[in-house]
Amino acid sequence: MNASQKEDLAQVFGPKWQGAGDLDYVACWFKRAADFMSRTQAQASFVATNSICQGQQVASLWKPLLTTGGMHINFAYRTFVWDSEATEKAHVYCVIVGFGPGVNHGGTIFDGVKGTHATNINGYLLNGPNVFIEARTKPLYDVPEMGVGNQPIDDGNYLFTEEERLAFLKKEPNAAPYFHRWYGAEEFINGQVRYCLWLGNCSAAVLGKLPECMKRVEAVRAFRLKSKRKQTQQAANTPRRFFIENMPKGNSVLIPETSSEKREYVPMGFMGPESLCSNAVRLIPDASLYHFGVLTSSAHMAWMRAVAGRLKSDYRYSNKIVYNNFAWPSPSEDQEKKIEATARAILDARSKEAGATMADLYRTASMPDELRAAHKANDRAVLEAYGLSKDSTEEEIVAHLMKLYSEKVEELRQKELEEAERLKAEKAAERERRKAERAATRKTKL
């Protein structure tokens, strides 16, 4: 948006509308229409960018409209490509949403030409209650926190192709221990081989004997000093280290930030500490096979498809919306062991496909039989841990997860209220204690 459009957005939503700054410009149409339709029987519908029904924008736009705003959604066409007869097609990804005030009799959800009746259409354009997944900085459940990978800000000095690494080591063979495989989304999914040179734990004495490495360090320092950002300039004081570092000592689950919507499963990695990752992936440090199994399951995929944002139609995986709000199962010991075993079977099936990239393995039409079977077994094990049938539809899975999410949020809210009451009672008791002390002191003086 340009400055004028941002001004429009601020004027339409006003200063009290939470999250208005995160909304697409098209959201102004929905807010204006809702203002006009209030206390009438009018209805409206718009073709709009699909992002207003995904990720954080659902809570920012639809929560006020569907709760306090008195609106409900009458019909919806889920994401489709807006085509035209133009030579250069824009390929904009759109939805159509019809909404208005009055009694909610449910509505129709269209996927292409097929329409199905819904008792209630929520902001995610799903048949279900009005649940709103809001950004959360910590996971709802007791699981490892998710972060981003490493961000070098190095002007490319620490990143190498295989050919560049070999050429560098020909000049400076003693630098070999400081090279690590480097995984971003592109490297992980499409098998692009890259390396990074990380000198953060290299002593000054050793570095002094590595002149080629020292050249890279000096180049990074100079590059950071030229930056207009104060934080980057400050990072010039530690040029051997990345600007942001996330290097778990144990195993980690790697999730690409962006992945094609054409895949049944988002390819995920289970990485050891020997490899380093870029900030184009999400990283869950100190993760177990159990965590990997649940996250790569059909249950988590259904949740991700329902609440994640999109880049065009590709999934954008985020920690604040997708991971931190995900409702984990409460498995028995046997169920957890079963998920660990099925997760291991997925990794074993992958390892048998020598030379295949994740893009090759997770192409829906040609997924290897053993890998598909391993995933289906894992899906069944995870659904069992949720108390769901192996034949549960994606809609049923999402409805169950949103129910668990709502219950967990309410549980936390009650705990916060109880904690607030406890602190209030403690303060009141402290006031009474001090009051009694002052009264006793006055009595003693008398």
Q: From CA 257, how far away is CA 279, in angstroms rounded? A: 9
* Same-domain pairing of 82 and 169: no
Continuous H helices in 183-229: 185-190, 204-207, 211-225
* Same-domain pairing of 8 and 102: yes
* Same-domain pairing of 103 and 197: no
* β-sheet bridge partners, residue 92: 82
Residue 338 lies in a domain: no
Q: Which domain holds residue 102?
A: 3-118
Residue 402 lies in a domain: no
Residue 414 lies in a domain: no
Q: How far is CA 124 from the centre of its chain?
A: 16
* Same-domain pairing of 111 and 195: no
Taking only the tens place, the pLDDT of each residue in 419-443 is 888 898 889 888 888 888 888 887 7
Taking only the tens place, the pLDDT of each residue in 37-69 is 998 999 999 999 888 998 889 999 999 999 989
Q: Where are the beta strands (DSSP E) in 163-262?
A: 179-183, 194-197, 252-256, 258-259
Residue 332 lies in a domain: no
* Same-domain pairing of 91 and 156: no
Domain boundary among 200, 218, 241: 241
Question: Number of structural domains, the chain?
Answer: 2
**Which pLDDT value is given to residue 88?**
67
* Same-domain pairing of 82 and 8: yes
Q: From CA 300, how far away is CA 292, in angstroms rounded? A: 11
* Same-domain pairing of 93 and 160: no
* Same-domain pairing of 164 and 110: no
Q: How far is CA 350 from CA 184, 268, 272, 288, 365, in A?
A: 19, 11, 16, 18, 16
* Same-domain pairing of 98 and 156: no
Residue 267 lies in a domain: no
**Which pLDDT value is given to residue 441?**
81
* Same-domain pairing of 27 and 77: yes
**Which pLDDT value is given to residue 89?**
64
The pTM is what? Answer: 0.83
Q: From CA 78, how far away is CA 112, in angstroms rounded? A: 8
Residue 336 lies in a domain: no
User: Which segments of the chain have a pLDDT < 50?
Assistant: none
Residue 363 lies in a domain: no
Domain boundary among 241, 264, 287: 241
* Same-domain pairing of 114 and 197: no
In the sheet that holds 258-259, the strands lie side by side as 258-259, 314-316, 309-311
Residue 325 lies in a domain: no
* Same-domain pairing of 43 and 109: yes
Domain boundary among 226, 241, 256: 241
Q: How far is CA 143 from CA 137, 184, 328, 399, in A?
A: 13, 23, 9, 22
- Counting Cα atoms < 13 Å in the Cβ hemisphere of 175 gives 27
Q: By C-alpha distance, which of 161, 152, 322, 138 is closest to 246?
A: 152
